[in-house]
A = this chain, B = another copy of it.
Amino acid sequence: MATTRRPGAYHCGIDAAMDVISGKWKVLILWALAEQACRFGELRRLLPGVTEKVLASHLRELEADGIVHREEYDEVPPRVEYSLTPRGATLNAALEPLGAWGREHVIDSVPEHSGPMP
């Protein structure tokens, strides 16, 4: 899968997965959606610095890769909710050890911080 961004074969499973999550905000999107389904605007607020265009394109790629589900409600004002698919949930779980590694080996230049991080 991974749409047609890398049409050929992958060297291994890792860079296949890396292709799916390549994108500046994708793992952050996954993390946010893992906690709760979100509307577009909520997601924007949860990711300080992301622009509408980039967020929209990332969401579309993740949807094409079967990672997130897009549910459109026919209301006024319009409302769209994004959530993780089962596959997205397994991807998130597979990222957890990497997050633990980062917390242990990288996030230790921070003197003190409050609240847990993924």
Contacts and interface: CB of A to CB of B under 8 A. Distances in A.
B102 A16 contact: yes
Contact of A16 (B1, B9, B93, B103): B103
A31 B14 contact: yes
Given A13-B107, A96-B97, 13 more contacts: A9-B110, A10-B102, A12-B31, A13-B98, A14-B31, A14-B95, A14-B99, A18-B98, A18-B102, A19-B106, A20-B106, A87-B105, A90-B105
Given A90-B101, A97-B93, A27 B1 contact: no
Q: How many copies does the complex hold?
A: 2
A107 B100 CA distance: 25
Contacts of A94: 97-98, 100-101
